[in-house]
Structure 1
Amino acid sequence: MNTMTLWHISAWEFAALAAAAMLVGFSKTAVSGANTVSLAIFAAVLPARASTGVLLPILIVGDVLAVLTYRRHAHWPTLWRLFPAVAGGVVFGTLFLMWADDGIVRMSIGAILLFMAGVTVWRRRQVTAEEEPDSVTSRAGRIKARSYGVLGGFTTMVANAGGPVMSMYLLSAGFRKLGFLGTSAFFFLIVNVSKVPFSVGLGLIDGRSLLLDAALAVFVVPGALIGKVAVNRINQRLFEQLVIAATVLGGIQLLLR
């Protein structure tokens, strides 16, 4: 990766990245998965492969804030059930990044964003259908956990886009709001930290990218604080509709770029 391209951004582009960083913080403490919009912004401003490396430390900052906020509400049996399958997905995603060039990664991120938008719509329909969720201890629940785990690991490694996959899984497993936020906070903190050595080995994270992260990380904090205040007041349906629309537009923009 030519990291010097990270310094060739205008003031408006930096402002867009800062807004995306604030949205990361907001999504971590209010609406998990909303940071797919941040993914689209980062991939539009920066080279596609570089964007995944720059975004990862920003996500980790948001994860730490989410853990500090909701640490008492995590459900660890669910986390331990997911991690082995997620690890397989992360390895698969790493192998993909070793093979794919910037154009393929950009198109893949665009396709993943569109897929994530479809996943989110499906998740909302499942929730409104008021069907009985599968028990996480049943055979069907274990198969579901493995399937979502592999897909979540792959999408989070390739495009930092595992949020909607895990959101759908946790909601289908019957998690309430605080349990959902606490479990997802620990899940993504552990998974994202485990991705750092892979990203460094692939050349996606280096000294220059970390300097840009340091400049952007300060914007995650106000986003997280706003999310903490808004989580009990936000109109979830309207916000998800806006996120879906922005995600679709971001995915199309990347595919046509």
Structure 2
Amino acid sequence: MGMTQLLLFGFAAFVIGYSKTAIGGLAVISVVIFASILPTRSSTAAILMVLIVGDLFAIWSYRRDCDLQLMRGLIPSVLPGLALGAGFLAIVDDTVLRRSIGALLLAMVALQLVVNARRDRLGQVAHGRAAAWAAGMGAGFATMTANAAGAVMTVYLVAKQVDKVRFVGTSAWFFFGINLLKIPFSTSLGLLAWADVWRALALAPLVGIGAWLGRHTIRRISQAAFEKAVLAASALSALALLVR
């Protein structure tokens, strides 16, 4: 592996740590980096292990900020979404998967723009049980196929007008749980290897640095500025996957 690839892996790990304790949407940058270095299908399992390392830093940082009521509304529909995502992974090749990830990310960007433009009306809809089930299913499918469920959760929690710290804390615990659930799915598909575990452990210090920085900046930088940066990064990353 060349120096450029090592630097890219290191940058991706740093971004994962930062996104886990700040704005989760930024993790799509890391998804694209891993998918550009490794075969797309294998990259979903490889980055999963780094995401779990980031989850551990995040749940420690926000161990008192999880909204359990929100979690209970989402969890029942996650497993069906994971199963659908696993089935999709089993039947598509790398090219279809890569382009599907790009299209999914673009769809999430468009959905986020709709939420921002019509936040009051969508906030009323988001409090219903159907919205929780849709968000859980969407998050399960998106995280299994593209590790891109952060965008789904962002749409749902922003529409519910969840305050920033509770938003990040709930997301941290939610994704830690579903990322652990993804391990047997990835293993059964033959995507997860011990090399992915060792890579994640080697990258853990950089994940930790990113998590520390995210924890110390989330209260200092405006939410509006973060959302604009995340949407721009998501759109560029999605386009990169679609044209690659």
Fold shared, TM-score > 0.5 on shorter chain: yes
Q: Does 1:122 align with 2:114?
A: yes
**CA deviation string 1:169-222 (max 9, x = no partner):** 112122111211111111000011111111111111111222222222221000
Cα-Cα RMSD: 1.7
The percent identity for this pair of structures is 39
Counterpart residue number, 2:123: 133
Deviation of 1:135 (Å):
7.8
**CA deviation string 1:142-172 (max 9, x = no partner):** 0100111111110000011000111111121
**CA deviation string 1:26-68 (max 9, x = no partner):** 1111112221111111111221111111110111111111111
Task: Answer whether contact 2:135 2:153 (CA < 8 A) is retained.
Answer: yes
Query: What is the aligned counterpart of 2:14 among 6, 15, 22?
Result: 22
Task: Answer whether contact 1:40 1:247 (CA < 8 A) is retained.
Answer: no
Deviation of 1:131 (Å):
4.7
* Residues 43-54 of structure 1: pairs in structure 2 closer than 5 A: 43-54=35-46
Q: Does 1:215 align with 2:202?
A: yes
Deviation of 1:132 (Å):
7.7
The 2-side partners of 1:253 and 1:152 are apart by: 22
Task: Answer whether contact 2:40 2:97 (CA < 8 A) is retained.
Answer: yes
The 2-side partners of 1:237 and 1:174 are apart by: 14
Q: Does 1:239 align with 2:231?
A: no
**CA deviation string 1:222-247 (max 9, x = no partner):** 00000011011113323322222222
* Residues 60-99 of structure 1: pairs in structure 2 closer than 5 A: 60-99=52-91
TM-score normalised per structure 2: 0.94
Q: Which runs of 4+ in 1 moved over 6 A?
A: none
Q: Structure 1 236/29 Cα, relative in aligned 2: closer, same or farther at 3 Å?
A: same
3-state secondary structure, aligned to 1:204? coil
The number of residue pairs the alignment matches comes to 244
Counterpart residue number, 2:179: 192
3-state secondary structure, aligned to 2:26? coil
Query: What is the aligned counterpart of 2:154 among 157, 164, 167?
Result: 167
Counterpart residue number, 2:241: 254
The 2-side partners of 1:27 and 1:76 are apart by: 21
Q: Which one has the bigger helix percentage?
A: 2
Q: Which amino acid aligns with 2:207?
A: V
Task: Answer whether contact 2:84 2:141 (CA < 8 A) is retained.
Answer: yes
Task: Answer whether contact 1:60 1:189 (CA < 8 A) is retained.
Answer: yes
